[in-house]
A and B are shown apart, each in its own frame.
Chain A
Amino acid sequence: MAGLFSRGAAAPVWVAEMEENRQRWFAFIEKLEARMDGLCTAALPELQQVLAEDEDAYKRTFLRMLAGIKGQLENIREKIREVGEEKVRDFFSCHIDEAWGSDDLRQRLYAFREVCTGRENAFEERHAAWLARLEKTGKRDLEAEYRSILDEHAALRDSFCCRQCGAPVVVDKLYFITSYLVCSHCRTQNTFEPGSKARGLEGLARELAEARTEHLLAASEAERQRDQDLYLKIHENRARAADSPATAASRKAQNEVWQKERAATVLNAHAAYETYLRAMFDEWNSIVPDLAEHNERFYQRMLEDYRRSR
């Protein structure tokens, strides 16, 4: 790199070190990314297999394996963070005072920090993408689980008889906890024990309701994203220097249009979220109608919390 120092002065020693740091930093992250990619590529099919074979109701074997893999990714992240602290951020802090006296040195030092931080950010994005894929291996087929609860319940319901007289006892709904049912023939109180799958109904219900209404939540998030995009467009428009009064006026007018769009988008996002919330609770109540009264109070609480926070 020629012509950096206007008076022909020799570059400080740390400039060479800075360039070496940059090269080594890129090579370092590249190697760690390769390890991360290798581990995750091998892990994905293994995780799916472990999940399929895990007979534990809480899938703890799968979860432990997933935790171990995530632990390795965290180990890699921590390595990058520690080296970045020393070789990029501390390096910058140590030399910025000295660099301040020279435009070239200052620009190079800032560029060094920016490009190294950019590389670290690219790693973080790659890490986040792998994390999302790993988490997805644990995605359950909630509808299938719900159907198996219904099937199990149907079998039990059709075979439940009075312990006293042997007559069939009507099981009028999907019980998920031990319940007392009275025989219509001899009035004996019978204890109905739900199946092991049905006992998990309350735990499954909310997740299933959320899954059934996730398209509504996505609609709300799409509006929020649109708001973010408009905000960035307005910001970029303001940041660019206008080459004439006409251009400045045109940009200002454009920004006003975008601001109005933002205001409408924000209202849409709020309305869409409240629509989602209501729909989710309606689904939840349809799965476990016995808890509807309690769920309605929970819904009110969530709605008030949301309105207070926006």
Chain B
Amino acid sequence: MFKKLLNSVLGGLEEVKDQVSRQVAPPAPASAPRYEPEPEPEAPEVEFDPETLHGTHYSIEEFDAAVEYKVQAWIAQEAAEGTTLGQKDVDNLYFNFRRDVYRAWTGADNDQMIQWELANSMLHRGTATSGFTKDDPESPLLQPIHGLSLKDYAAITLKISQGVDVGAICQAMGIEPAIWEECNVLWCKRMQEDASFTVQTLFGQYFSEGVSHPKLAALQAGGASAGNANLERLRSDRYFYEELCGARQAAYEYGLDGAQWILENFAISLGDFQAVAMEHLTLQNQNWNSEEMTRYMDYQQEKQKEYAAKFAAEQGGNIADDVTF
């Protein structure tokens, strides 16, 4: 439908004499010089706790005390100048002074600092981060609903998104469809109620693990993507994953169903694709590397442009292809 509209508009355009030269400036050479920052001086050797990512040469209590001192001193100074800080301002003070003290005490670079923030997001900001969030059996928000745990719920959702029949899933889980429907509503409500995003974050982690649920692992939809070489490659080859992300986005921007396009061309269901996306996100959080992330983003955008050109060609071009500077 979109292609028909686009072609009708393109075909109806009059030939416009472009009096300005149509020459486009040549692209920048591939080896254009890039700004390279000066290498930072080598920091002293610091050991980091594997869980908290704090340095092992101080205690967390000492760290918190140093931050608290700085925050209170700032608040007092503002008060002496007649300024009362709001909660948002105080939160910002904690955020910035934590960074200052962490960098000063550990010599951490930016990537290390960000990873430390992610590992401590619940403690510092009260929000969960994928890769660092643990299940809490005491939390009321994580209690099973009608016997279905959050892990069960995530696994069922994955199977549905893979195209497995809901009736078959309910039978495998030993529950009535009515129970499933109520759980489906109430788990979503738990996510809404949860200001810490723990339920949502754990759901994402479990979603990517859902393939291995003992009661559901054997269930497959017709044309299943499990065992599919493309799916395995999506999981193991980050660049392939980024390529398909770019392709999917380009498909949407050309009026196609991107997820359906991936299924038709690579036999990977949306559910499986998103499960792999969660795996990559979690690994990324646990091994924060901003240079690598920039490379992946640039690669995805490059691929998106390539696929966009392909889809454009299939539709007779873009609305403004002939307009040049």
Q: Report if A191 contacts B (CB, 8 A).
A: yes
B192 within 8 A of A: yes
User: Is A68's CB within 8 Å of the partner chain B?
Assistant: yes
Q: Does B86 contact A (CB under 8 A)?
A: yes
Is A273 in contact with chain B by the CB < 8 A criterion? no
Asked, given contacts A24-B325, A65-B5, whether A31 binds B16 with beta carbons under 8 Å apart, the answer is yes
Binds B, one of A96-104, A139-147, A175-183: A175-183
Once A64-B2, A191-B178 are accepted as A-B contacts, the answer to whether A35 and B319 lie under 8 Å apart by CB is yes
Of the candidates B177, B255, B308, B325, the one whose C-beta lies within 8 Å of that of A64 is B255
Is B142 part of the contact surface with A, judged by Cβ < 8 Å?
A: no
B88 touches A79 (CB 8 A): no
B318 at the interface (CB under 8 A from A): yes
Known A304-B195, A310-B88; judge A68-B6 contact (CB<8 A).
yes
A74-B253, A75-B318 known; A297+B193 contact, CB < 8 A: yes
User: In the complex, what residue of chain B is closest to A21 when comparing beta carbons?
Assistant: B325
**Complex: how many Å from CA A39 to CA B186?**
44
How far, in Å, is A45 (CB) from chain B's closest CB?
10
- Residue count of chain A within 8 Å CB distance of chain B: 49
A230: chain B residues at CB < 8 Å are none
How far does the alpha carbon of A15 sit from the alpha carbon of B36 in the complex, in Å?
A: 31
Residue picked from A38, A50, A67, A179, most chain B C-beta under 10 Å = A67
B194 within 8 A of A: yes
Which residues from chain B contact A191 at a C-beta distance below 8 Å?
178
Complex CA distance for A191 and B20, rounded to whole angstroms? 73
Q: A309 and B88 in contact (CB under 8 A), knowing A25-B325, A27-B20?
A: yes
B105: CB under 8 A from chain A? no
Which applies to chain A's interface (DSSP): helix, strand, loop or mixed?
A: helix
| Residues of chain A within 8 A of B195, CB atoms compared | 301, 304-305
Please tell me if the beta carbons of B193 and A65 are within 8 angstroms of each other in the complex: no
B2 contact from A28, A35, A69, Cβ within 8 A: A69
Query: At the interface, yes or no: B43 with Cβ under 8 Å from chain A?
Result: no
Partner of A75, one of B86, B184, B320: B320
- Contact pick for B320, options A35, A43, A46, A307, CB 8 Å: A35
Q: A71-B253, A178-B181, A305-B195 are in contact. Are A65 and B1 (CB under 8 A)?
A: yes
**A297 contacts which chain B residues (CB < 8 A)?**
192-193
Cα–Cα distance between A223 and B185 once the two chains are bound (Å): 36
Structural contact, B20 and A180, CB atoms closer than 8 A: no
Given contacts A71-B252, A86-B25, contact A39 B189 (CB under 8 A): no
Closest A residue to B253 using CB positions: A71
Bound together, the chains give a CA A67 to CA B16 distance in angstroms of: 28
Name A61's closest neighbour in chain B (CB-CB): B1
B195, closest chain A residue (CB): A301
The B299-323 residues at the A interface (CB cut-off 8 A) are 308, 318-320, 323
Say yes or no: is B218 at the interface (Cβ < 8 Å to chain A): no
- Tell me, yes or no, whether A308 is within 8 Å of chain B by CB: yes
CB of B256 within 8 Å of the partner chain: yes
A116 CB to closest chain B CB (Å) equals: 12
Contact: B2 with A294, CB < 8 Å? no
Q: Which residues of chain B in 1-43 are interfacial with respect to chain A, using CB atoms and an 8 Å cutoff?
A: 1-3, 5-6, 8-9, 12-13, 16, 20, 25
| CA of A60 to CA of B195, assembled, Å | 31
Please tell me if the beta carbons of B320 and A178 are within 8 angstroms of each other in the complex: no
A39-B9, A71-B252, A180-B178 given as contacts; is B189 within 8 A of A291 (CB)? Answer: yes
Pairwise interchain contact A60-B319, C-beta atoms closer than 8 A: no
* A226-248 near B? 1/0 per residue, CB < 8 Å: 00000000000000000000000
**Contact between chains at A308 and B88 (CB < 8 Å):** yes
Q: Does A72 contact B (CB under 8 A)?
A: yes
B 145-166 binary contact with A (CB < 8 Å = 1; else 0): 0000000000000000000000
Contact A72 B319 (CB under 8 A): yes
- Minimum CB distance partner of B19 in chain A: A27
Decide if A43 touches B178 in the complex (CB within 8 Å). no
Residues in chain B within 8 A of chain A (CB atoms)? 1-3, 5-6, 8-9, 12-13, 16, 20, 25, 86-88, 91, 177-178, 181-182, 184-186, 189, 192-195, 252-257, 308, 318-320, 323-325
A contacts, CB < 8 Å to B:
24-25, 27-28, 31-32, 35-36, 38-39, 42-43, 46, 50, 60-61, 64-65, 67-72, 74-76, 79, 83, 86-87, 177-180, 191, 202, 291, 294-295, 297-298, 301, 304-305, 307-310
Contacts A/B (CB < 8 Å), 13 sampled: A31-B320, A35-B13, A42-B8, A50-B1, A61-B1, A64-B256, A72-B6, A75-B308, A86-B25, A177-B181, A294-B192, A298-B193, A301-B195
